[in-house]
Amino acid sequence: MDITASTVFIPGATSGIGLGLALRLQAAGSTVVVGGRRTERLAAIAAEHPGIGTVEIDTADPASIERARDEVVSRHPGLDAVVLMAGIMEAEEFKDPASLEIAERTVVTNLLGPIRLVHAFLPQLRAQGSATIMTVSSGLASVPLAATPTYNATKAGIHSLSETLRVQLETTGVRVVELAPPATRTDLMGLKDNPTALPLEDFLDEVMTILGAQPDVAEVLVERVKWQRFAEREGRYDEVFEALSSRYRG
């Protein structure tokens, strides 16, 4: 992905990593459209950041995905990158039956949403000859956190999907790049106030450096996430899994 000259749609960019990445990509020279459900946030972003486009989208709703796709593509016929950023993370407790609702909306938002988005945007991206799909997994795809079983499972699913989608699209000119953030200070699950999480701007600095130096990189891995991403490969899985599980046990 050429960070200096792409036309990018980021559904899930009304806050946090998505908004931060949108602003960095725009500053680097790309044309960016941000999407999300909170229309007041979209209006504020448009007012505060001239040149950034905004589109309302609920990635849990197939009709909303198609409407947003049509709107973005009609405004930007050269759209050549989509970042599948929208996601939710909520604690679940299997001993509480009410958690089933959390699990269901997590699967719809974090796994089915990105799958539907790929289907919706692939014809547009293929028509460009050279294009990018950026998926967003997590360090928790590699070693799961006991407090969020379904969230981890959806992110492991996104990692798996990214690998096979990359192979299926090999001959199409559409590259698949997986962004796997570590715990980063955003509104997600109270992480903004978590001193052990990576400051958002530090995370974005590293991401932009990696994308700038390696436009064809398959996985964007900042230093902090390697603790989880390479745990199995480096024989540290049990230790990292235990460290994450002890946070749940308290």
Ligand X SMILES: NC(=O)c1ccc[n+]([C@@H]2O[C@H](COP(=O)([O-])OP(=O)(O)OC[C@H]3O[C@@H](n4cnc5c(N)ncnc54)[C@H](OP(=O)(O)O)[C@@H]3O)[C@@H](O)[C@H]2O)c1
The answer to whether 179 and 135 are in contact (CB under 8 A) is yes
Give yes or no for residue 12 binding ligand X (CB under 6 A).
yes
Distance CA 16, CA 32 (A): 16
The residue within the footprint of ligand X, chosen from 3, 24, 36, 175 (CB under 6 A), is: 36
Q: How far is the CB of 225 from ligand X (least distance, A)?
A: 8
The answer to whether 183 and 196 are in contact (CB under 8 A) is yes
Q: How far is the CB of 69 from ligand X (least distance, A)?
A: 13
Work out the number of other CB atoms within 10 angstroms of the CB of residue 106. 23
**Closer to ligand X by Cβ: residue 15 or 130:** 15
What sign for the dihedral angle of Cα 29, 59, 138, 15?
positive
Give yes or no for residue 181 binding ligand X (CB under 6 A).
yes
The residue within the footprint of ligand X, chosen from 32, 33, 55, 89 (CB under 6 A), is: 89
Does the annotation count 151 as an active-site position? yes
The residue within the footprint of ligand X, chosen from 2, 28, 41, 46 (CB under 6 A), is: 41
Which residue, 136, 137, 187, 131, is CA-closest to 15? 187
Distance CA 69, CA 116 (A): 11
Q: How far is the CB of 130 from ligand X (least distance, A)?
A: 25
The residue within the footprint of ligand X, chosen from 73, 91, 191, 217 (CB under 6 A), is: 191
Give me the amino acid identity at 111.
L
Q: Which of 151, 157, 161, 231 is catalytic?
A: 151
Which residue, 178, 168, 167, is CA-closest to 132? 178
The residue within the footprint of ligand X, chosen from 109, 148, 150, 152 (CB under 6 A), is: 109
Report which DSSP code applies to 189.
Answer: G
Give me the amino acid identity at 247.
R
What are the strands, taking DSSP E only, across the chain? Answer: 7-11, 31-36, 53-56, 81-84, 131-136, 174-179, 219-220
Give yes or no for residue 220 binding ligand X (CB under 6 A).
no
Q: Which stretch binds ligand X (CB under 6 A): 24-32, 75-83, 121-129, 177-185?
A: 177-185
**Closer to ligand X by Cβ: residue 128 or 161:** 161
Written as six digits, the tokens of 51 are: 């040149």
Tell me the per-residue interface mask from 68 to 87 with ligand X, x by CB under 6 A, - otherwise.
-----------------xxx
**Closer to ligand X by Cβ: residue 30 or 87:** 87
Interface contacts to ligand X, rule CB under 6 A = 11-18, 36-38, 41, 57-60, 85-89, 109, 136, 138, 181, 183-184, 186-188, 191, 197
| Residues known to be catalytic | 151
